[in-house]
């Protein structure tokens, strides 16, 4: 069942995460938009938010190694908290290296659950789990706008009894829960009916006073975590609710783990790099296609015996075979007639030899294909079983890498030969963007034209031999100035101008870079060029090195 997040639950989960991860060492962030999963890879553990509308779970699992597609971000957790009466959890991060502080905001409103990585001061969005349009658009490069606050009474957990009574006494009993949800902080469709389900004896005023007492306990977070038993399944909550059966649990995080493990839809997610899982999925599809193609080839083979018989007939009746024709009708060995197709450019003996060659190929295929079909089907079945285990989090990265056929073990970019080294080194800007630096002049063309996308940023030191540099970018407009400057500094460092105090570096979108016909390797002509002046600082290279 999907989790019904409300402000008390968000606050309580934030408190538990603060206790578990405060001061923790973040290594990388993984945003799996396809599954709507956010992974925060700490040295101590892995924090996972499952933000698909059918889930909404948060889990702490063992630590995992960052993968090639993960956003490397060495930082320490400064604080984890939820704003009062909001369904947002903010994880504040302090970088261990250069760069600004970051915030990771997990939004838990309605069915629009999302995760956003922003710069703490400017609030510029650096990464987003899934982009949204509209007045409050969430997209890389835009300024983050918090959800509009509800401004309900009692946000500071203080609501006078008189105001509570005024709100509810004039409302019809069946409308009071709706009034609470609209007007009073810390209430929700999950807890409002329980606040009003008073079983005390006495006048109605006494029952409303009891409801106010219960609200104060909810607003202050008083109580022990429980696993409620709702109509559609178990549900973690920070305190018991009158009229809602449930049992106490040691922690909310443990309760989430229990609920997630009880449903196939919300089972423990794989800690494997999503790109590695997708490569395995592609290998499964290829193996299946290979098995089907081989089986189809086996089932559509010609009749080798019949082909050899035609060759025998042509040789036996070669005097009756007309030259320069594409067919002939010959008497067969039983006295009947047989239509025989011929190549008009060949003699009768050559046509017979051609039939014998076809028969020999069929016979070889009949001996070879059954074994290939069997081997391909076993490979496909083995990869399918491994994929099931990988999705269930039961396979290691090494096991998956080993199982994927070697010819597909590159990064999936056209032009990467089997077993070859990528033509670039990878770095991560302080903003988390990938920077690819060519491994020398002979690899520049490969990097620029085979390992980049049209909207990536291309950089090169002006009037100096050196590496082409690609800053991966798919956002609107230009990339952030800091990330662009760091990519330019790497271009300067990997050029013959590296010892200069200030180096001009040209940059433009990759789609504006062309290679003249017949030009030497690494020679290109960029259009719509802008120029940055940067200092080639060797310390920056070490700070941004992604391994």
Per-residue pLDDT, 266: 42
Percentage of residues in the chain having pLDDT higher than 90: 54
User: DSSP secondary-structure letter at 478?
Assistant: S
The mean pLDDT value of the chain amounts to 87
With tokens 């060495």, the residue in question is 74
Residue 43 has pLDDT above 80, yes or no: yes
Per-residue pLDDT, 264: 43
Give CA torsion, residues 495, 497, 503, 504, to 10 deg: -60
pLDDT tens digits, 280-314: 888 898 899 989 999 999 999 999 999 999 999 99
SS3 for 439? coil
Q: What is the pTM of this model?
A: 0.61
What are 281's two structure tokens? 């999925």
pLDDT tens digits, 387-413: 988 877 788 888 888 888 754 333 434
pLDDT, greater one: 108 or 275: 108
Q: Rg of the Cα trace of the chain?
A: 34
DSSP string, 115-163: EEEEETTT-BEEEESS-B-STT-B-TTSBP-PPPP---BTTTS---HHH
Cα 14 vs. chain centroid, distance in angstroms? Answer: 25
What are 404's two structure tokens? 């994927």
Please tell me the distance from the alpha carbon of residue 254 to that of residue 277, in angstroms, as a whole number: 27
pLDDT, greater one: 150 or 155: 155
Report how far apart the first and last C-alpha atoms of the chain are (Å, whole number): 41
Residue 447, C-beta contacts closer than 8 angstroms, at least 6 positions apart: 423, 424, 436, 438, 468, 470
């Amino acid at each position: 069942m999907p989790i019904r997040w409300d402000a008390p639950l968000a606050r309580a989960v934030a408190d538990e995460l603060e206790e578990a991860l405060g001061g923790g060492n973040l290594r990388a962030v993984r945003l799996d938009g396809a599954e709507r999963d956010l992974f925060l890879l700490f040295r101590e553990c892995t924090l996972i938010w499952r933000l698909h509308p059918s889930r909404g779970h948060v889990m702490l699992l063992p630590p995992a190694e960052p993968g090639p597609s993960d956003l490397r971000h060495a930082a320490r957790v400064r604080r984890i908290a939820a704003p009062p009466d909001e369904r947002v959890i903010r994880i504040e991060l302090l970088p261990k290296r250069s760069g600004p502080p970051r915030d990771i905001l997990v939004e838990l409103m309605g069915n629009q659950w999302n995760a956003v990585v922003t710069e703490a001061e400017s609030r510029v969005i650096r990464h987003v789990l899934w982009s949204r349009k509209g007045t409050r658009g969430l997209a890389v490069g835009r300024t983050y706008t918090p959800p509009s606050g509800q401004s309900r009474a009692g946000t500071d957990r203080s609501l006078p009894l008189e105001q509570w009574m005024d709100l509810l006494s004039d409302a019809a009993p069946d409308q009071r829960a709706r009034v609470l949800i609209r007007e009073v902080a810390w209430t929700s469709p999950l807890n409002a009916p329980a606040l009003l389900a008073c079983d005390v004896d006495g006048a109605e005023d006494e029952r409303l006073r009891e409801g106010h007492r219960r609200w104060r306990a909810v607003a202050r977070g008083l109580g022990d975590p429980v696993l409620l038993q709702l109509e559609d399944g178990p549900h973690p909550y920070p305190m018991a609710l009158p009229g809602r059966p449930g049992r106490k649990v040691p922690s909310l995080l443990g309760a989430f783990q229990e609920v997630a493990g009880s449903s196939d839809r919300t089972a423990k997610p794989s800690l494997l790099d999503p790109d590695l899982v997708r490569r395995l999925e592609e290998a499964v599809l290829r193996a299946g296609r290979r098995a089907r193609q081989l089986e189809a080839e086996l089932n559509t083979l010609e009749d080798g015996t019949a082909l050899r018989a035609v060759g025998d007939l042509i040789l036996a009746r070669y005097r009756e075979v007309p030259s320069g024709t594409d067919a002939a009708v010959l008497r067969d060995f039983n006295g009947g007639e047989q239509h025989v197709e011929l190549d008009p450019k060949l003699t009768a003996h050559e046509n017979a030899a051609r039939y014998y060659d076809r028969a020999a190929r069929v016979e070889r295929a009949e001996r070879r294909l059954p074994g290939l079909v069997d081997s391909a089907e076993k490979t496909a079945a083995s990869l399918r079983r491994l994929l099931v285990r990988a999705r269930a989090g039961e396979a290691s990265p090494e096991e998956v890498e080993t199982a994927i056929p070697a010819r597909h073990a590159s990064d999936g970019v056209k032009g990467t030969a089997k077993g070859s080294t990528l033509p670039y080194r990878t770095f991560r800007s302080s903003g988390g963007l990938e920077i690819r630096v060519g491994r020398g002049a002979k690899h520049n063309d490969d990097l620029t034209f085979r390992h980049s996308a049209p909207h990536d940023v291309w950089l090169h030191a002006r009037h100096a031999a050196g590496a082409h540099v690609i800053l991966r970018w798919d956002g609107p407009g230009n990339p952030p100035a800091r990330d662009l400057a760091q990519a330019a500094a790497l271009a300067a460092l990997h050029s013959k101008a590296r010892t200069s105090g200030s180096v001009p570096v040209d940059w433009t979108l990759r789609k504006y870079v062309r290679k003249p016909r017949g030009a030497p390797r690494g020679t290109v002509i960029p259009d719509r060029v802008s120029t940055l002046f940067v200092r080639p600082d060797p310390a920056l290279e070490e700070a941004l090195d992604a391994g």
